[in-house]
Structure 1
Amino acid sequence: MTQVANHVQSGSGVPAAARRRRKKLTFDKVSFMAVFLGLPLVIYLVFVISPFVQAVYYSMTSWSGFDNNMPFIGFDNYVKLFNDDIFMISVRNSIILAIFLPVITVILSLILATLVTIGGSSRGQIKGLKGAGFYRIVSFFPYVIPAVVIGIIWAQIYDPSSGLLNGLLAGLGFDGFKDFPWLGDPRTAMVASMVVIVWGFVGFYMILFIAAIKGIPAETFEAARIDGAGRFRTAITITIPLIRDNIQTAYVYMGILALDAFVYMSVLNSTGGPDNTTLVMAQKLFTTAFSKSQFGLACAMGVVLAVITLIFSALVFLVNRLTGGSKDVSN
């Protein structure tokens, strides 16, 4: 009884959480919260949230962009957008890019990363293909080239009369491609443009996946080898599940880039391609704002693009969660 009384008198019977709540904030805690929580939050509000809120307001005006006159027109710009056939074509093209570009880029990057990390000899130490370091440098090289330069290079490669691609195909006996307009034909313009973007980014995501695979203990791959798992089975059942978060991140970033793709599409086809087959939302937004001086309408396009981007990101996280992405597979 004496021990119980002393225990109660000392206050040790009070829950630990309640005792922590009674503690006064010290200067160290306040300064830490201000620097590492408050300051980033203020920066985020000022440079991210505030511009977006302004864009939403501007999208409900008929602002020309070059004066202070901003007549409020409500949702008229949005009604106009969804009745604009060309804008809807640009939305469709952007969604097509968001569907196919991340899939193609991530799959190719995973294949290359697997080959240069665990795709080597099936005997001895787990290692990649011979000359893996050289493959990494060559694959990553396109990423360091500015997007404008990449677009110009590939525009020359696709040139119907003097392009390298048609020259090679004609040299191999495919005479039908002698003067084929890859960027000028509605059947191939979008595919040819996607090839350029994939070429520019596959090396970067390959390096990202290499770093993730290097973080997997070598004993895990050794155990799989002892169990008789081949390279393909090892990649599907071990590598991909263990780097799933990295794949999700890469998919989201690549999807966001695909929904923009302004630089690549503008350099390859500044007018939107034949029958607007390569016109994306960012191109339509730029033309509306700076060629037609309709900044209010352009802001509405930007809001629609932002909403589609958020929906895309949310769907990626949702699908990843529904397919078991939140489970711990490390064991």
Structure 2
Amino acid sequence: MNHHRRRFVAGFLAVPVTLYTVYVLSPCAQALVIALTDWRGVNAVPRFVGVDNFRRLLGDEVFLRAAGHNLLLLALVPPLTIGLALLFAWLLTGDGTARRTVRGAGLYRVVFFFPQVLAVVLVAVLFRQILRPDGNGMLNAPLTALGFAPVGPLADTDLALWAVLFVLVWQAVGFYVVLFSAGIASIPRELFEAAAIDGAGGGRLFLRITLPLLRDTVQAGWVYLGVAALDVFAVVWVMTAEHGGPDHSTTVMAAEVYRNAFHYSRFGYACAMGVVLFVITTGFAVLVLRLTRRERIEFR
């Protein structure tokens, strides 16, 4: 019986494992090999250079700046998005005792979730038009009509990255509002009622019951948002001036990978950047999962 079961499982997994190996593991391995060469394109003959590309990265001011931007987004996007989503979900779902909710909570959830159904490129184009620095943007048109000087966060080297941060949080928070609302609604009402009888208020109910029972969901969301913050290619490339400007003030590692590969034909160097990005992303995911690991809480 066990032999037949293993054969069934092996046969069931053969196709997906093969596809994953061909389309995921194989390109990753090829990228690592190319990162050790100076390959410059399809017709060029690659020359093995060892770790020279990685040494160059240590002195590449633009790449180091891009890595710093990614790390800043990594530090801010997950906590801001999850914090806002938890707050909105708690307000819309109630405290679990009287199930007090905002009137029209279902409509609010739809409104919150709406940005999630928009393509990332569409969101970037939308905010590029909203935040355009001249008087024709959706932000500056009313300001100009009222006699105020137009503002241009995307044209300001000190504000452009914060505009990107705002867009990332704006698009992502709605999905987690819906996700956390469903999680809160699935928690047995008896747990909240028992704690309320013992004198726990709304804040304590959230901190002692709601948040611990949502920990696994929050953990997964933190990893996903962290990976998104380390990627963030489409928003930066479409939304910002000079595809990461002005003056490289919003560039990120993924943008530099694309720029070096397809603008400068430095494919070996671009693959080295990609390998560094892969290592950072994987390390972040492993670190979060290990730091937040605990025994699973089950309730009936």
Q: Does the 8 A contact of 2:131 with 2:137 survive in 1?
A: yes
1:298 maps to what in 2?
A: 270
Of the three residues 126, 130, 139, the one matched with 2:99 is 126
Deviation at 1:231, TM superposition (A): 2.2
CA shift digits 1:69-123 (9 cap, x unpaired): 2211111111111111111000111111111011111111111111111159x7x
1:139 maps to what in 2?
A: 112
Q: Does the 8 A contact of 2:157 with 2:249 survive in 1?
A: yes
1:19 maps to what in 2?
A: none
Q: Does 1:225 align with 2:199?
A: no
Matches within 5 A, 1:1-331: 25-26=2-3, 28-67=4-43, 69-119=45-95, 125-160=98-133, 161-167=135-141, 175=148, 178-271=149-242, 272-321=244-293, 325-326=294-295, 328=297
Q: Does the 8 A contact of 2:227 with 2:281 survive in 1?
A: yes
Cα distance in 1 for residues equivalent to 2:262 and 2:86: 40
Q: Does the 8 A contact of 2:154 with 2:241 survive in 1?
A: no
Deviation at 1:281, TM superposition (A): 0.5
SS class of match (1:130):
coil
Deviation at 1:318, TM superposition (A): 2.6
Deviation at 1:327, TM superposition (A): 5.7
Cα distance in 1 for residues equivalent to 2:6 and 2:212: 40
Give the TM-score normalised by structure 2. 0.92
CA shift digits 1:227-247 (9 cap, x unpaired): 232222211111110010100
SS class of match (1:162):
coil
**1:293 maps to amino acid:** S
**2:110 maps to amino acid:** I
Cα distance in 1 for residues equivalent to 2:265 and 2:246: 25
Deviation at 1:43, TM superposition (A): 3.0
Deviation at 1:165, TM superposition (A): 2.5
Between stretches 270-279 and 296-305, larger displacement belongs to 270-279
Give the TM-score normalised by structure 1. 0.84
How big is the alpha-carbon RMSD for the aligned residues of Structure 1 and Structure 2?
Answer: 2.2
Cα distance in 2 for residues equivalent to 1:241 and 1:119: 14
Deviation at 1:265, TM superposition (A): 0.6
**1:259 maps to amino acid:** L
Q: Does the 8 A contact of 1:320 with 1:326 survive in 2?
A: no
Q: Does the 8 A contact of 1:140 with 1:207 survive in 2?
A: yes
Unaligned runs of 5+ in 1: 1-23
Give the % identical residues: 41
Return closer, same or farther for 1:67/1:270 CA change in 2, 3 Å cut-off. Answer: farther
Deviation at 1:330, TM superposition (A): 5.1
Cα distance in 2 for residues equivalent to 1:274 and 1:291: 18
Unaligned runs of 5+ in 2: none
Q: Does the 8 A contact of 2:154 with 2:163 survive in 1?
A: yes
